[in-house]
Amino acid sequence: MTLTVDAKLADLTVMVAGQGGDGSLTVINHLSRVLGHRGFQMYTSRDVASRIKGGHAAGVMRASIAQRRNVGDHVDLLVAFDAEAIEKGGPRVSPHGVVIFDGSLGPPPAGYLPDSVEVLSIPFGRLAVRDLRRDLFKNSVAYGVACRVFRLEDDEIEANLREGLSRFPDSIIEANVGALHVGLAYADDAGLIDRTWQLDQQEKSPHLLMTGNEALALGFVAAGGRFYTGYPITPATDVLDFLQRWIEKFGGIALQAEDELASINMALGASMAGVRSMTASSGPGIALMQEAVGQAGAAEIPLVIVDCQRSGPSTGMPTKPEQSDIGMLTTGGNGDFPRVVLVPSDPTDAFEIGVTATNVAQELQGPVYVALDQAVAQNSATVALFDIAAVEVKAGGQIGAAQIDQLNEVRRYLINDSGISSWAPPGTAGGMSLVTGNEHDEWGHVSTEPGNRVRMMDKRARKVDQVLGDLPGALLGGDPDAAIGMLGVGLESGPLLEAAERLSDHGNPVSVLIPRTLWPVPKETLDFINAHDLTYVVEHNSSGQLASVLRSVGAPADRIASLLRYDGLPFTAGDLVERFLAAEAGQ
C-alpha cells in the first residue's frame, strides 16, 4: 500500500476524466502549468463529445523531460470523476499507476483496472457540496489531491491555481482556492503525503504553453495579417477566438461571418484592398469554400486558408482528428490553378508556418492552405519562445502610387517570365484595374481567345516556381542511414519520432521524414522515398491520401506502404511500434 517510487519520474502521463462540465480539462490545464513550472515539457490532448455539457470528456497530459508531442502509451495517474471514466480510461492505466476516484457515489466499478493499480477513493463531489455548497468546485478539490501525489509545495499549488483563474472575479478565485485546501487537507488526513511520487526537477528555460491554432494565428498577425473571417466550427473556432481577442491591438479586424461562403469572400475583398487576410474552417466549411479558393487562383488574390481537419466525410466526428482533406486541399476546386499546402506539426511550426503562409500568399498572389488536424490545432504543448525578431513581412508584387508613377502602364495581369504581375490595391492613384475570375487578358477584360487562354494558364502556373525557395523544409528524425523510412505529417510527428527512438533501441532502425510542405511535393520528399527500400506513410485517413499524392508525382508505388488509422484516436508511439513490427513481419 505504498505509492513511493524509487526512481525520479521523468515521463508521466495523466488522464483526468468525467462528464463534460465536470472540469476535467480545467484540471489538466492547471496541472500542465504547475508541472511546466517544474521545467517539464508538456503536451496535452482532449477527448470530448460534441456537446456543451455531459458525455464522456477526458483530458490527457504528458509531462516529460524529453520533448514529446504525444501522450504516453500508458496512463500513470488517472483522476476519475465517475465510473465511466474508470470504464473508458481504466484499460490504459499502467500496472504501476495510481487512480484517484471520486467516491461520492460509491466504490469504483470492478474489472477495468489492472490489479496492481492503487485506487484512492476520495469524495470530491461530496466534499465540494459539503464544504462549499457547489459541486462545480470539485475540480479544484481534485487538482489539490493530484498535486499531493506529485509532492508539490502548497505555495506553488495555490499560486498556480490563482494564475490559472486570473481572468475570473475574486469571489470565484477564492472559492476555488478554498476547494483546493479542502482537497489538500483530505489528502493529508488520508496519509497521502507519505506515499507520493518524486518528480525529477528540471532546469527551467522560458517556455510558452500554446495550441497550434493560437500559434498559427499569432504567426499570421506577425506577418502583417490584419483581416480574419471565420464561421464557428470545431476544431477551428479557436483561431477566431484568438484573433477576436488580439487583432484589434494591431489595427486589424476579426469577424464572425454568416457562413463559410461569406467568410472566404469577405477575406478575398479585404485582401484585394491590400490587407493580408486569412480564413479558417474545418473540412465541411473548406468544402463550401472550394469555389472561392479557385477564385483566388484565377483572379490572383493572396489568401491564407486554414483547414483544421477533423474526421470526415460530411459532418463526421467533429472533435476527432483526421487527415482526410489532403485530397481536397491538393486537388480540390474546379479547374487548374496554382496553390500551396503547408502542414505544421506543433505550435512552433504553426507559428512559423503562419508567417510563411501569409508571405507566400502575398508573393504567389493566390491561395495558400495551412493544413492542421484536430490534434495539432487544439492540443497544447510547451514550446520555446518564438523568434519574433526573425519574422519577415514581404510585400510580393503589391505596389503603391510612388511605384506606379515610374510605370508607363499598369496591366493587372501582365505576362512576364516570373508570372508575377504587379498590382495596386484600390485607393492607389493611377493603379486602376479589373479583377475577375473569368479568363481575362492582361488588362483584366474577359477573354476566351485561345492563345490568351493558354498564355494566362501558363503564367499563373509559373508563379509557383517563384515561391519554392520560401516553402518550409521537412523535419528529420530516427536513423538517417536506415534502410526503412517512415513518413507522416501533423499529429503523426510526435509518435513517429518517439517510435523511431524505440525501434532503434530494439535493433530496427528507421529514418523519419516529417514534411512541412505538402504541395507542391518538395524534391526532398521524393528523394527520401527513393533513398529507402520501403517508406511507411503514416496517416489518419482510410484511403492513404498522402500516399496517393506522393504516387501522383512519381513516388514509386513499390517503395511505399501505408500505415493508416481512422478510428478518431491518435497513434501513441507504442501503437506505431506495434504496427511497424507487424507490417515488417508481413512484408
Partner 1 sequence: MTAATFSPARPIFCAGCGHFGVGAALEGAVDALAVPRHELMVVAGIGCSGTVQNNMVAYGYHALHGRVLPTATGFALANPALTVVAAGGDGDGYAIGGGHLLHTFRRNPPLVYIVMNNGTYGLTKGQDSPTALVDSSPAFDAIDLGLAIPGTTFLARGFARLPDQLRDLTRQAIEHSRSGRGFAFIEVLSPCVTYNDTYAEWDSGLHNVDEDPDYNTQDRLAALHMSMTLKSEGLQPVGLIYQAPVREGTVARAEAIGPADADVSLSANREQLVSVMESYRIY
Site for partner 1 in 5-34 (CB under 8 A): 32-33
CB 471 within 8 A of CB 524: no
Choose, by CB under 8 A, the member of 18, 59, 72, 274 that binds partner 1. Answer: 274
Instruction: Indicate whether 415 belongs to the interface with partner 1 (CB under 8 A).
Output: no
CA 315 to chain centre: 19
Instruction: Indicate whether 224 belongs to the interface with partner 1 (CB under 8 A).
Output: yes
Measured from the CB of residue 321, what is the shortest distance to partner 1 in angstroms?
22
Measured from the CB of residue 357, what is the shortest distance to partner 1 in angstroms?
15
CA distance 54 to 74: 25
Instruction: Indicate whether 352 belongs to the interface with partner 1 (CB under 8 A).
Output: no
CA distance 587 to 582: 9
Measured from the CB of residue 254, what is the shortest distance to partner 1 in angstroms?
10
Choose, by CB under 8 A, the member of 407, 461, 476, 569 that binds partner 1. Answer: 407
Pick 211 or 525: Cβ nearer partner 1:
211
CA distance 547 to 110: 44
Measured from the CB of residue 204, what is the shortest distance to partner 1 in angstroms?
5
Instruction: Indicate whether 275 belongs to the interface with partner 1 (CB under 8 A).
Output: yes
CA distance 114 to 97: 9
CA distance 388 to 252: 19
List CB contacts of 522: < 8 A, sequence separation 6 or more. 468, 471, 473, 474, 515
463-481 burial, b at 16+ Cβ within 10 Å, e below that, comes to bbebbeeebbebbebbbee
The total of other beta-carbon atoms located within 10 Å of residue 392's CB is 11
Cell 518538395 -> residue: 522
Measured from the CB of residue 412, what is the shortest distance to partner 1 in angstroms?
8
DSSP 490: G
437-447 burial, b at 16+ Cβ within 10 Å, e below that, comes to beebbbebeeb
Beta pairing partners, 61: 14, 44
243-272: contacts with partner 1 (CB under 8 A)? 246, 249-253, 255, 257-259, 261-263, 265-272
The one segment of 314-322, 367-375, 404-412, 576-584 that binds partner 1 by CB under 8 A: 404-412
Instruction: Indicate whether 366 belongs to the interface with partner 1 (CB under 8 A).
Output: no
The one segment of 73-81, 383-391, 474-482, 490-498 that binds partner 1 by CB under 8 A: 383-391
Pick 39 or 178: Cβ nearer partner 1:
39
Task: Put the strands of the sheet holding 560-564 in their side by side order.
Answer: 475-478, 510-514, 484-488, 534-539, 560-564
List CB contacts of 320: < 8 A, sequence separation 6 or more. 310, 311, 374, 568, 569
The one segment of 4-12, 90-98, 226-234, 463-471 that binds partner 1 by CB under 8 A: 226-234
DSSP 277: E
Pick 209 or 583: Cβ nearer partner 1:
209
Pick 414 or 564: Cβ nearer partner 1:
414
Pick 34 or 79: Cβ nearer partner 1:
34
Measured from the CB of residue 587, what is the shortest distance to partner 1 in angstroms?
44
DSSP 388: G
Instruction: Indicate whether 388 belongs to the interface with partner 1 (CB under 8 A).
Output: yes
Measured from the CB of residue 438, what is the shortest distance to partner 1 in angstroms?
6
The one segment of 87-95, 116-124, 384-392, 528-536 that binds partner 1 by CB under 8 A: 384-392
Choose, by CB under 8 A, the member of 11, 19, 39, 543 that binds partner 1. Answer: 39
426-455: contacts with partner 1 (CB under 8 A)? 426-438, 443-446
Helices 154-164/170-189 angle, 10° precision: 150
Pick 253 or 526: Cβ nearer partner 1:
253
308-337: contacts with partner 1 (CB under 8 A)? none
Instruction: Indicate whether 404 belongs to the interface with partner 1 (CB under 8 A).
Output: yes
Measured from the CB of residue 370, what is the shortest distance to partner 1 in angstroms?
19
Nine cell digits for residue 399? 505596389
CB 283 within 8 A of CB 325: yes
Choose, by CB under 8 A, the member of 6, 189, 409, 417 that binds partner 1. Answer: 409
Site residue total, partner 1 (CB under 8 A): 83
Choose, by CB under 8 A, the member of 386, 519, 536, 580 that binds partner 1. Answer: 386
133-162: contacts with partner 1 (CB under 8 A)? none
Query: Residue type for 196, please?
Result: T
Upstream peptide bond of 520 is cis (omega within 30 degrees of 0): yes
Instruction: Indicate whether 405 belongs to the interface with partner 1 (CB under 8 A).
Output: yes
Pick 331 or 438: Cβ nearer partner 1:
438
CB 73 within 8 A of CB 573: yes
Pick 439 or 479: Cβ nearer partner 1:
439
CA distance 413 to 368: 19
Site string for partner 1, 190-209 (x = CB under 8 A): --------------x-xxxx
Nine cell digits for residue 24? 476535467
88-107: contacts with partner 1 (CB under 8 A)? none
Q: Which ranges in 190-233 belong to alpha helices (H)? A: 212-222
